[in-house]
Structure formats: C-alpha cells, structure tokens
Amino acid sequence: MAARNLPAKDRILEAANRLFYGEGIRAVSVDAIAAKAGITKKTLYYHFKSKDDLIEAYLASRDQPNLALFRTWFDEAEGTLDDKVEALFLNLAASARHPKWKGCGFLRTAAELANMPGHPAMKVGAAHKKKFEAWLSDIFADHDIAPAEELARQIVLLMDGAFSSVLVHRDPAYIESAGRAAREIVARAA
C-alpha cells in the first residue's frame, strides 16, 4: 500500500519513525513530521495531543517489530544455544554496517530524555528492554540454565554496551566482540 493511501495516523507514525530514528527526537519538529506525513499540523494534533505523545507512540510502534526480529534471528541461527545468542550480535553487527543504521532507537531516545525519567517514552523504552530480557531469561530457563535471569541481564548489558560503543566508534566490530563474550558466558553457564 502506498504511503499516501495509509490512514493519517499511520502516515504520522511512519514519518515519526523515519525522522526520529534518523535525526533524533529533539532535532525533529512537529512541523517536519506533518510535512513528511503529508498532513497538516492540526491533523497531527488530532491524532496525538502533543509531541511527547507522538514520541511515546513512535517507540511503542518499534517494540514488537524489534522483538520479532530478534526472535527470527535466534530461531534461524544454527547450532547450540551459545551459537544462537552470538547470532543475535552478528546480525546486529551486519545491520550496523548499513549507512542508515543509527543504533538502538530505545537507547537513543532514553539518552535524549535522560533528564525526564517520568516521560511516557522512557516507560515504553524500559518496558521494551525488560521484554527482551524476559525473553532471553525464558530461553535460558528452558535450557535449564540457572540463574536464567542473571544470565539474561548479562547478555542485555553486553548488547546495550555494544550499541553504545558502536555509536561512539562507528565500528560494528564492537558488536561482534560483545557477541563472542556473550557466547562464552552462555557456553560456561550451559
């Protein structure tokens, strides 16, 4: 379906996704989002009462697609559990090599809103990270690894650290190194 044939709310979210992810939430105005969506600012405010609501909806719209992508990468990876965990990182590193890749939208938004811990988008971002951690924990528990929660947290720390390092150094090899570390941690725990 062509973008112009989408309902206005969907066009607004699509434009917000492109602009917020590409340029950052503070750098993008509501006017720019309305223009990219091909609607008026009044229409945007009909669907979202504020830019903060739009930022929250932007992150919420990324939640399930991102989690589904991680599940796909994990399920499609061959080998042992530690191979599959490393595959998550290898796929991220491959993504990071794309010129439009800007890192984790949840972490970048959290960094921009660090002085606003009660912002609704901060809650969405925290919930997303917890869902990912819980998913990993469930996988580890299914493989009789205890404590599954601690191992999942360690993998999340490696992943989020890798995201940050790539943004600083612009080198996806950091994600690959984190993947090797994650593999070793999982192999020892299994």
2 pLDDT above the threshold of 90? no
User: Domain of 136?
Assistant: 59-189
The span from the CA of 29 to the CA of 19, in Å, is 9
Q: Are 159 and 96 in contact (CB under 8 A)?
A: no
Give the mean pLDDT of 156-182.
97
CATH assignment at residue 165: 1.10.357.10
CB within 8 A of 71, min separation 6: which ones? 135
For the cut 70, the answer to whether the pLDDT of residue 82 exceeds it is yes
Task: Note if the bond before 147 is cis, omega within 30 degrees.
Answer: yes
Number of domains composing the chain: 2
Q: What is the pTM of this model?
A: 0.92
pLDDT at 48 over 50: yes
Mind giving me the DSSP string for 45-80?
A: HHH-SSHHHHHHHHHHHHHHHHHHHHHHHHHH--SS
Q: Residue 173 has what pLDDT?
A: 98
pLDDT value at 53 more than 90: yes
Mean pLDDT, range 25-31, rounded to an integer: 97
Q: In the Cβ-directed half-sphere of 148, how many Cα atoms lie within 13 Å?
A: 13
Taking residues 20-46, report their average pLDDT. Answer: 97
pLDDT category, 3, cuts 50, 70, 90? low
> 45 and 63: one domain?
no
- pLDDT tens digit sequence for 94-140: 999 999 999 999 999 999 999 999 999 999 999 999 999 999 999 99
54 lies in some domain: no
In a domain, 5, yes or no: yes
Q: Would you place residue 5 in the very low, low, confident or very high pLDDT band (cuts 50, 70, 90)?
A: confident
The pLDDT score that the predictor gives to residue 4 is 66
Quick one: 45 and 126 in the same domain?
no
* Residue 1: predicted pLDDT: 40
Question: Residues 96, 164: one domain?
Answer: yes
**Domain-located, residue 76:** yes
